Amino acid sequence: MAVAFSDIPLYRGWGAPLRVESDIRDLEVAQGEVPADLNGTLYRCGPDRQYPPMFKDDVFIDGEGMAHMFRFDNGHVDYRSRWVRNERFLLQEKARRSLFGRYRNRYTNDPSVAGKSMGTANTNAVWHGRKLLILKEDSLPVEVDPDTLATRGTWDFAGAVKAVSLTAHPKLDLHRNELLMFSYQARGDCTRDFAFYIADAAGKIVHEAWFDMPYPGMVHDFAVTDTHIIAPFFPLITELDVIKSGGPFYRWHPEQQSHFAILPRRGPASEIRWFRGPAVSAGHMMNAYNEGSKVHLDLCLYRGNCFDFFPTYDGSPFKPVPPLLTRLTFDLGGKHDGYEASLLSQAPCEMPKCDDRYVGKPYRYGYGICRSPTAKAGEMGFGAIGRFDHQRSELAAWSAGENCGVHEPNFVVKPGAPEGAGYLIVIVNRIAENRSDLAVLDAQRLSDGPLALLKLPVRVRSTFHGMWVPERALATGTYLA
């Protein structure tokens, strides 16, 4: 069978599958100078189609995982990309075609892969316990070599994780050197099981808690404070009869409520406090923290369905809504099960981050992708990197330029420096030139533009998430907050 991708918008232009592994030693410094104190590795991960999908209308978040690394060494930056050669990839490589059907729907797979893992390993890269893990919430992590990106194999934390999958959005506590993780539909498709795990600095599971979700929905991200976890349940629900008939893995149910479970970090499920509200959704959380009996959760909130490729259950048309930075406040000392919602910014934003030392703590600065200040009226495009100052309620932004896009920024901590003093490293899409740049920004002075702009002769098609690993942390496996 000839390899030919469909001529549809998803696979045209910048979206065209790249299907290339790269090695580039010493990226060209096109502008500025790489800061001398910037030594370590930026790891990123995203989807790229190995073969044309079995169904032409599959969603863009599907596709086999491609891991990327940028190693900074005394002013030099090297780049490498490698396929994550997990079970799915190897089976398709042997067959020379796609064998897995619609997004996460095992009932649409080729019969030859019945019972095999559908995991794409295409969402995030995390360094913890001296292991570099590539994550996708549909399966267990895949370990890869931190220097070569060669695939080592599936990792279940030495058999301690009994859930069938783990989140692509664990939270790293730099102060305790702990990794906090969860699994939803943790015993398989359409189950209501939710599992929470904590791994210590050595990567050993030291705590777990299981409880029932209100429905078998999607939980892409969660948040933590110094004392609690917040697990949000939005009504994007998996229905067994729907997927068995070949339908989408999730459907939007606006008649259902959103639910939030707040649980002590090392507490049993019996200590959960449940809160409820209208049908909203969110892909990503910026941060959360405690204030007395109150828990504040800052997230990019959609007052409706955030995914246009997951339809409404009754067939009604998708209604686009912008993601707006919003604070949800839950009172653990109160008697009611509602919460307060306050808008923090009118500017649409996504892929939020904070200074990693302040995860779970009161904080001032948040970062993310936002609407370009130069965007025309009516445009929602996310072509800029923003810094939101919670103290002043101000948004500062840097735009990569006309006809350019940006990936999620990664914050680089300066040890011992005050909050927000550090760098943001961002992959830039130079769409007209069909290639990428890597920008190093001063996190406190975004509007000044890049401190360094590194030129790639290739296109980094898409990365969802990743992390910066300082040189010392890569050597020792532990972080200094």
Q: Which class for 95: exposed (0-12), middle (13-18), buried (19 or more C-beta within 10 A)?
A: middle
On the CB side of 374, CA atoms within 13 Å amount to 11
Task: Please name every residue paired with 466 in a beta bridge, in sequence order, or none if there are none.
Answer: 44
- At residue 279, the 3 state secondary structure works out as coil
- At residue 48, the 3 state secondary structure works out as strand
Q: Can you give the residue range of the structural domain that contains 242?
A: 9-476
Stretch (H or E) spanning 87: helix 87-95
**Strands 452-455 and 422-430, bridge-based pairing:** unpaired
Task: Please name every residue paired with 369 in a beta bridge, in sequence order, or none if there are none.
Answer: 350, 385
DSSP 220: -
* pLDDT tens figures, 103-114: 999 999 999 999
Report yes or no on 472 lying in a domain: yes
Report yes or no on 51 lying in a domain: yes
* Residue 35, both tokens: 């800061």
**Confidence class for position 2, pLDDT limits 50, 70, 90:** confident
Report yes or no on 481 lying in a domain: no
* pLDDT tens figures, 301-327: 999 999 999 999 999 999 999 999 999
In this prediction, residues 121-141 reach a mean pLDDT of 98
Alpha carbons 383 and 380: distance in angstroms, whole number? 9
Report yes or no on 396 lying in a domain: yes
Q: Which class for 116: exposed (0-12), middle (13-18), buried (19 or more C-beta within 10 A)?
A: middle
> Looking at the chain, how many residues does it have?
481
Report yes or no on 313 lying in a domain: yes
Report yes or no on 4 lying in a domain: no
The answer to whether 280 and 324 have CB atoms below 8 angstroms apart is no
Q: Give, in degrees to the nearest 5, the angle at Cα 224 between 223 and 225.
A: 135
* pLDDT tens figures, 397-443: 999 998 899 999 999 998 889 999 999 999 999 999 999 999 999 99
How far apart, in Å, do the first and last CA atoms of the chain sit?
Answer: 53
Stretch (H or E) spanning 472: helix 471-476
- CATH number of domain containing 39: 2.130.10.10
pTM for this one? 0.96
DSSP string, 6-36: --SGGGSGGGS------EESS-EEEEE---T
Report yes or no on 52 lying in a domain: yes
* pLDDT tens figures, 183-221: 999 999 999 999 999 999 999 999 999 999 999 999 999
Report yes or no on 3 lying in a domain: no
Structural domain count, the chain = 1
pLDDT of residue 333: 96
